[in-house]
């Protein structure tokens, strides 16, 4: 199973997802980490583009949607993303790709990923707050 974690230092779980430094994608089997991949947050490279206007019309929402899709593509294959917080647009884009966004108070990335894989992680599913 692959579990992604939002991180600020490649050791701890952080949030806000869109502003974190990067992500760790753990490949876990039987409670053991087989491998881990560290990736920079692709949204950080394009951050300045979401805060300006084109020809007098603000395209922030349009950029935001594409930025979220770009991140979802970078995390492709992960079952879940562990973080402290995320905006609804981000949650929706990741959910559309089959990636569950889960809020946790756990701070240590490896511990959180292993506990999630073992079904022992305490977390909040933000979708519970938005269910119809």
Residue 64 pLDDT: 55
Q: Is the pLDDT of residue 66 over 80?
A: no
Q: What are phi and psi of 81, to 5 degrees?
A: -120, 120
Where b means 16+ CB within 10 Å and e means fewer, 19-30 reads ebebbbbbbbee
Q: How much is the pLDDT for 47?
A: 52
Contact between 24 and 41 (Cβ < 8 Å): no
pLDDT digits (tens, 9 = 90+) for 33-57: 999 999 999 887 655 444 444 344 3
pLDDT tens digit string along 5-14? 999 999 999 9
Structure tokens at 82: 């562990």
- DSSP alpha helix (H) spans, the chain: 42-45, 60-74, 88-96, 109-117, 127-130
Global pTM reads 0.82
CATH class given for the domain over 2-130: alpha beta
Instruction: Give domain limits for the chain.
Output: 2-130
């Amino acid at each position: 199973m692959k579990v992604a974690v939002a991180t600020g230092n490649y050791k701890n779980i952080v949030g806000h997802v869109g502003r974190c430094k990067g992500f760790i994608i753990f490949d876990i089997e039987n409670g053991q980490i087989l491998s881990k991949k560290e990736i920079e947050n692709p949204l950080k490279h394009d951050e300045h583009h979401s805060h300006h206007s084109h020809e007098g019309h603000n395209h922030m929402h349009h950029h935001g949607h594409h930025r979220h899709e770009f991140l979802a593509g970078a995390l492709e294959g992960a079952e879940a993303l562990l973080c402290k917080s995320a905006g609804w647009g981000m949650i929706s884009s990741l959910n559309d790709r089959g990636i569950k966004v889960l809020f946790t108070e756990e701070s240590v990335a490896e511990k959180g990923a292993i506990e999630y894989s073992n079904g022992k992680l305490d977390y909040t599913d933000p979708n519970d707050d938005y269910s119809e």
